[in-house]
Amino acid sequence: MPLITLFHGSPSVVEKPALGLGKPQNDYGPGFYTTKSIELAKEWACPKPGEDGFANEYTLDDADLKVYKISSEEYNILNWLALLLNNRHFKISQGISEGARAYLIENFMPDISDADVLIGYRADDSYFSYANAFLNNGLSLQQLETAMYLGNLGEQLVLKSEKAFSKLSFKRFELADSRIYYPKRMARDIEARRVYREQVSMEKIINAVYVLDIIRGGWKNDDTRLSRNLSG
């Protein structure tokens, strides 16, 4: 089986990534966050203007690894949102949002306890606006899905176990010029926020599903009313 080429964007060269060194409050919890796109890694490496970063390149032998792809059709958008709500700490507006958050985590949190690798959407600050609006019944499930797919923040692959780290090999690094990649990063974020504003400004559709409908209807993860993710 061919090796997978991965990239990690960082302010520094990371030759020996190790389990437990990253921030625990990332999208999918503790782990080493990578992407298959060197261009995306260079954007991630430049979070501030005037500060260059590095795209670190690795190969991963994923044979015998337990891989969960949260962005596949096996899962739905609420699985991704439950993971995000469970791992990321961000201010949630007052109202129904706390109860909605608890309901989504209880009923849609996928079991990933034995995962070696997770693959799923990336989130940043703009997506917490989506989450907040959805939790407060201001954004429908359909609008959340549309904003998620159109926002185009990219997909990430996260190493979650010692077994996965043992199969990762550092190859090289490339400089990420902040004069090029910080503007690209910001443009991607601006587009995600534009899509969000566009969705929020739309009038409520009578037949659209909102979080209160999901709670009142007692929706569970195997509910036939839930669509699967669009990407395979």
Q: Which domain holds residue 18?
A: 4-216
> Phi then psi for 220, rounded to 5 degrees?
-120, 175
Inside any domain, residue 186: yes
Inside any domain, residue 26: yes
Residues of the chain with pLDDT under 70: 1, 22-25, 89-95, 124-127, 148-153, 196, 199-206, 227-232
pLDDT for position 200: 66
pLDDT for position 232: 38
Inside any domain, residue 103: yes
Q: Rounded to two decimals, what is the model's pTM?
A: 0.84
pLDDT for position 132: 80
pLDDT for position 15: 95
Number of structural domains the chain divides into = 1
Inside any domain, residue 224: no
Q: Pairing mode, if any, of strands 67-69 and 117-121?
A: parallel
Axis-axis angle for helices 97-108, 77-87 (nearest 10) = 110
pLDDT for position 230: 46
Inside any domain, residue 174: yes
Give the list of residues 6+ apart from residue 116 with CB closer than 8 angstroms, or none: 65, 66, 67, 159, 160, 161, 163, 164
Nearest to 122 by CA among 4, 28, 219: 28
pLDDT for position 204: 63
Inside any domain, residue 149: yes
Inside any domain, residue 229: no
pLDDT for position 205: 65
Sign (positive or negative) of CA dihedral 152, 186, 17, 24: negative
Inside any domain, residue 93: yes
CB 15 within 8 A of CB 23: no
